[in-house]
A and B are shown apart, each in its own frame.
Chain A
Amino acid sequence: MTKLSMTVNGKAVSGEIEGRTLLVDFLRQNLGLTGTHVGCDTSQCGCCVVHVDGRSVKSCTMLAAQAEGAEVTTVEGLAQADGTLHPIQAAFREHHGLQCGFCTPGMLMSAADLLQQNPSPTEHEVRDWLEGNMCRCTGYHNIVKAILAAAETMKGGMPQAAE
């Protein structure tokens, strides 16, 4: 067991882990942050996407030990402390961007990374970016609509994800 420290959603956290602990297991089991989902465990489905030092990664395909000292943001860190939804979350609600909700945390985190890098994506760019996020309800149409709507809202200077 080794000791591990990192910042998750702005808070310093630490824990004792085995070398083989995946980042997603550390987040879910050690920290109780179960918003990040595990779908395929082999980096195909994108349900486990979080941000590590500002970039989207699949947390099932990264060892927790590799995030030592990193700044991690999970879906729990998207909304503001008072519960005000992030514009991407608000747009998913408004445009019915989720059905069963299983893929939603990963969709939100991937979308947040996209809009940080490209604040005005085309529909094609959104679809291209989401190639690593699967929705088993096949609700892509409204997910894409929601992300494009969020991009419009955020042009007005709405807050970005807390990194």
Chain B
Amino acid sequence: MKPAPFAYAAPRSLDEALALLAEHGDEAQIIAGGQSLVPMLALRMATPGILVDINRIAGLPGLLEDDAALTVGPCVRHAELLRHAGRHRHWSLIAAAVREVAHPGIRNRGTLCGSIALADPAAEAPAYALALDAEIVLSSLSGERRVPARKFFRGVYETARAPDEMITAVTFPRPAPGWRFGFQEIARRHGDYAIAGLCAGLRLEAGRITEVELVYFGIADRPMRAPQAERSLLGEPNADAVKEAAAAAGAELEVEGTGESSAALKRQLMRVLTERVLTKLIVGAPGQ
């Protein structure tokens, strides 16, 4: 028996689950897919007093798309999200990023909302949520609030979620026409956490780049946008601007080394990722 003992509750209603969170506070831990939590329990890095299993709650949102947004409920698995995103061009960033989340057996259990709640700085989900301007819906007994991704991630495993709150959905506004996205990460083995990764988006209107999103992950305590690099890409798509952005990104952000990967290595990988992803994105763009 590897995990330390804990109480286990499988509430049938959201109110029941939220009441358990309110009662137990920091001692309670929500489990949906458990693909990060169960190994942490087995290694006794996490020793919650009570696990609140949300899989049996009736009436939680699933995966829902309308013209305005994609809503992903708390028990939607990475695999289900990947199947959906893979069928829609406007979610190409989600599809590309989720393909890099661990392995099929893990994607069959793990959830997007769980990855967002955990906020591992090297994980894909917080990065693409930030790049796509997602909103995190938090529910507690006192009601519901929505927090934009840019305000949600605060540090390593630290978010704006209070202990009595549960993520009941993450919503992604549908990108406006003209946006195109690219994604790449560098890891020692496919499926591992990234040493560094990039979610890139740019909006092309009448042959000019009018908006840019560059979100780097694995390089600091949370996914980071690089505003100076973004600005350098505005205007006519061209290779010099890509080089300038690649140089700017590593210089403007506070990069932290992790384990065997130094800050200098990560800065170099940011440059490489920026050149690779953006070059691919602007090839075929009008004016090229």
**Which residues from chain A sit less than 8 Å from chain B, CB to CB?**
2, 18-22, 25, 41-43, 46, 49, 55-58, 60-63, 65-66, 68, 110, 113-114, 128-129, 131-133
Contact = CB atoms under 8 A, between A and B. Distances in A.
A65 B53 contact: yes
Contacts of A65: 8, 10, 53
17 contacts: A19-B6, A20-B3, A20-B5, A20-B8, A22-B38, A41-B42, A42-B39, A42-B42, A43-B38, A46-B103, A56-B105, A62-B38, A63-B31, A63-B53, A66-B34, A110-B104, A131-B191
Contacts, number: 92
Interface of B: 1-8, 10, 31, 34-35, 38-39, 41-43, 51, 53, 55, 79, 102-106, 108-109, 189-191
Given A2-B8, A132-B102, 20 more contacts: A18-B5, A19-B51, A20-B3, A20-B5, A20-B41, A21-B1, A41-B39, A42-B43, A43-B39, A43-B105, A55-B108, A60-B38, A61-B34, A62-B38, A66-B34, A68-B10, A131-B103, A131-B104, A132-B105, A132-B191
A16 B5 CA distance: 15
Contacts of A132: 102-106, 191
The 10 closest A-B pairs by CB, nearest first: A132-B103, A19-B8, A42-B39, A20-B3, A55-B108, A61-B38, A56-B105, A58-B105, A131-B191, A131-B103
A79 to B, nearest CB: 21
A129 B8 contact: no
Contacts of B43: 42
A22 B2 CA distance: 9
Contacts of B5: 18-20
Contact of B2 (A41, A57, A133): A41
A66 B51 CA distance: 11
A22 B34 CA distance: 11
B36 to A, nearest CB: 9
Contact of B104 (A60, A63, A129): A129
Contacts of A131: 103-104, 189-191
Contacts of B108: 55-57
Contacts of B102: 43, 132
